[in-house]
Amino acid sequence: MNKISTRISALTSATALAMVLAGTTGLANAQTTLKKVQDTGEIVMGVRESSSPLSFTTGNNQFTGYHVELCLAIIDKIKATVGKPINVKYTPVTSQNRIPLTQNGTVDLECGSTTNNATRQKDVSFGMTTYVTEVRMAVKAKSGITNISQLNEKTIATTTGTTSVQTLRKHKAAEKVNFKEVFGKDHADSFLLMESGRADAFVMDDNILAGLIANAKDPKEFKIVGEVLSVEPIAVMFRKDDPGMKTVVDFTIREMMNNGALDKLYKKWFQSPIPPKNTSVNLPMGATLKALFKTPNDNPMESYAK
Amino acid sequence: MHLEWGFFLRDIGDGKTSYLDWMISAWGWTLAVAACAWVVALLLGSIIGTLRTLPTEGLARWLVKFGNAWVELFRNIPLLVQIFLWYHVIPSLYKPLQEVPSFALVVLGLGLFTSARVAEQVRAGIQSLPRGQRHAGMALGLTTAQTYRFVLLPMAFRIVIPPLTSEAMNIIKNSSVAFAVSISELTLFAMQAQEETSRGVEVYLAVTTLYIATALVVNRVMARIEKRIRIPGTVGSEK
């Protein structure tokens, strides 16, 4: 008797779990984001903890940055579309979970520093490219290193879990430069490897390097040098096959590019003092991004290869 | 959820290695770190654990204090912090250490951390023996060293095999901190490969399976040892 009742309760809970699971996947697949926002009165923005100046926290569950402010403008448009006030909920994501969380409906609009590439386009959708990062290297100013061919037999630092690791690997195979790689567990760690002399250069996205240098003890001790190893378009991300959402996002971005609002936003986050330390990353807009502001597109990284 | 495993056979970009090759080599690094650190932990842990049970008279008092200090030092600092101390802080104070490969540093860091835990288990094993055993050794005219070698330790080690099994399985999982000092082991592979392939679920499933399989093999080997060296009629042998 006892055994049977345990079995029955196990069966009921399994069924309940299956129903919950079916419910969530149903939500992600059948409903469009705009419909979901209209029904729940809430939109979930995926943000990053430390991808300054694109998306980062200032503590106390407050998030800000270039992409966060861009997304707030997009959400204003969504508000107008659904015709009612909506509540914005912030959910921090990581490089590891941002795509699954967007796919399964936990996050509606991811506003971090996600590279738009062909592999990811199979899983998610991207807005028009709003930032372009160039992978270069940071070195100590007095090291005399100016390009990557000088790094033969030297050590290069980069961060685990980033596309730069792959870029470096491909470069090594193609150019036959023989260097050693060390991997920091995060950007601060990789920078420390270069600062302490364990590595001679730190290869990473230029905006991240500029941010780290701006916050270093003595910013004049470091500089960003060398050829561009790879160009990566960065964009906001949302669920795939959702034309309504894609229209609102791209419409807002085009409008902001045309009326100069996005240019102003860029200057605010990349060329003026920003929190938390009130220093500027001091990174004027590059040629690629300037061209994109004139003729916006959402092409993946692969189309930027020379 | 749609799973897709084909990417494991894809080239990682250097023209000769596939993701599968890389994962197997990463597994090798995990095993190497864990095995080397376990040797350090078992050796030092046994010595320190034994020291802590010495009679507290004369010079031995200082050995006991040394053992206590060792355990408190390495047990009370979080593992990841210890690894960073070995990798970043100590080499910046003493420059020649920068030349030491990070593999040696992580083996040392993980080994010392685990040695404090092993020491506590060995001490508990020795102290769980009836006091009469030590006294019997002394009554037979054995020196302290002989009492430990022939009477106490053979019994104590048999008693502590089950907790040591847990510790050996722990060291496999704790070896994942090696990713923080740039050792290309399973956790580093998982973080990097999921970024490159966008197939995080598959990567983490594969890596989890390898961790489970390794820990399970360790568990079975230790169970085998436990069974083989059991002496009928002694403490801890009832089953």
Give chain A positions within 8 Å (CB) of B98. 196-198
Pairing outcome for strands A55-59 and A50-51: antiparallel
What letter represents residue B188's amino acid? L
Of the two residues B234 and B192, the one the predictor is more confident about is B192
pLDDT for B228 equals: 93
Contacts of residue B64, defined as CB under 8 A and 6 or more positions apart, other chains included, come to: B51, B52, B54, B56
B103 found inside a domain: yes
Given a cut of 60, is residue A40 above it in pLDDT? yes
Does the distance separating the beta carbons of A160 and B188 come in below 8 Å?
yes
Tokens standing for residue A197: 């002399």
pLDDT for A306 equals: 58
pLDDT band at A278 (very low <50, low <70, confident <90, very high): confident
Compute the mean pLDDT over every residue in chain A, rounded to the nearest whole number. Answer: 87
The CA distance from B24 to B6, in Å, is 16
Which structural domains are found in chain A, ordered by start? 29-132+233-304 (3.40.190.10), 134-231 (3.40.190.10)
Residues 97-136, chain B, touching A (beta carbon < 8 A): 98, 102
Q: Does B96 touch chain A (CB under 8 A)?
A: no
Compute the mean pLDDT over every residue in chain B, rounded to the nearest whole number. Answer: 93
DSSP-based three-state secondary structure for A207: helix
Interval A177-235: pLDDT, tens: 888 989 998 888 999 999 988 999 999 998 889 888 988 888 899 999 998 999 999 99
Interval B14-35: pLDDT, tens: 878 999 999 999 999 999 999 9
Distance from CA of B88 to the nearest CA of A (A): 8
Given a cut of 50, is residue B77 above it in pLDDT? yes
DSSP-based three-state secondary structure for A139: strand
The CA distance from B170 to B185, in Å, is 16
- Quote the domain boundaries for residue B51: 17-228
pLDDT band at B236 (very low <50, low <70, confident <90, very high): low
Query: Most confidently modeled of A87-101, B48-62, B209-223?
Result: B209-223
Kindly report the pTM of this predicted structure: 0.79
pLDDT for B89 equals: 92
Interval A142-188: pLDDT, tens: 999 998 889 889 999 999 988 888 888 888 878 778 889 899 988 88
pLDDT for B29 equals: 97
Helix (H) or strand (E) holding A27: helix A2-30
Contacts for B189-195 with beta carbons within 8 Å, 24 or more apart? B189/B22, B189/B23, B189/B26, B191/A96, B191/A160, B191/A161, B192/A160, B192/A161, B192/A165, B192/A183, B193/B19, B193/B22, B193/B23, B194/A96, B194/A161, B195/A95, B195/A96, B195/A161, B195/A162, B195/A163, B195/A165
Given a cut of 90, is residue A256 above it in pLDDT? yes
- CATH code: domain of residue B187: 1.10.3720.10
Cα pseudo-dihedral A204, A167, A201, A67, rounded to 10: 0
pLDDT for A193 equals: 92
Give chain A positions within 8 Å (CB) of B13. 166, 169-170, 173
Region B231-238: mean pLDDT is: 72
Q: Contact B1/B156 with Cβ under 8 angstroms?
A: no
Q: Contact A256/A262 with Cβ under 8 angstroms?
A: yes
Nearest to B88 among A122, A169, A192 (CB): A192
Region B60-70: mean pLDDT is: 94
B5 found inside a domain: no
Does the distance separating the beta carbons of A119 and B14 come in below 8 Å?
no
B195 found inside a domain: yes
pLDDT for A20 equals: 45
Of the two residues A275 and A70, the one the predictor is more confident about is A70
pLDDT for A26 equals: 40
Given a cut of 50, is residue A4 above it in pLDDT? no
The CA distance from A142 to A222, in Å, is 8
The CA distance from A73 to A69, in Å, is 6
Does the distance separating the beta carbons of B14 and A160 come in below 8 Å?
no
B6 found inside a domain: no
DSSP-based three-state secondary structure for A197: coil
Given a cut of 80, is residue A24 above it in pLDDT? no
The CA distance from B24 to A116, in Å, is 30
Does the distance separating the beta carbons of B13 and A173 come in below 8 Å?
yes
Is A270 buried (19+), middle (13-18) or exposed (0-12) by CB count in 10 A? Answer: buried
Domain count, chain B: 1
B12 found inside a domain: no
Lowest mean pLDDT among A1-10, A39-48, A205-214, B224-233: A1-10
B7 found inside a domain: no
Region A90-100: mean pLDDT is: 89
Interval B117-137: pLDDT, tens: 999 999 999 999 999 999 999
User: Is the complex ipTM more than 0.85?
Assistant: no
B3 found inside a domain: no
pLDDT band at B38 (very low <50, low <70, confident <90, very high): very high
Does the distance separating the beta carbons of A192 and B195 come in below 8 Å?
no
* DSSP letters spanning A44-111: EEEE-SEETTTEEEEETTEEESHHHHHHHHHHHHHHHHHTS--EEEEEE--TTTHHHHHHTTS-SEEE
Interval A103-137: pLDDT, tens: 999 999 999 999 999 989 998 999 999 999 999 99
Does the distance separating the beta carbons of A163 and B196 come in below 8 Å?
yes
Mutation test of the interface with chain A: which of B83, B176, B195, choosing the one with the most A Cβ atoms within 10 A? B195
Q: Quote the radius of gyration of chain A (alpha carbons, Å).
A: 22
B87 found inside a domain: yes
Region A74-88: mean pLDDT is: 94
Given a cut of 50, is residue A23 above it in pLDDT? no
pLDDT band at B78 (very low <50, low <70, confident <90, very high): very high
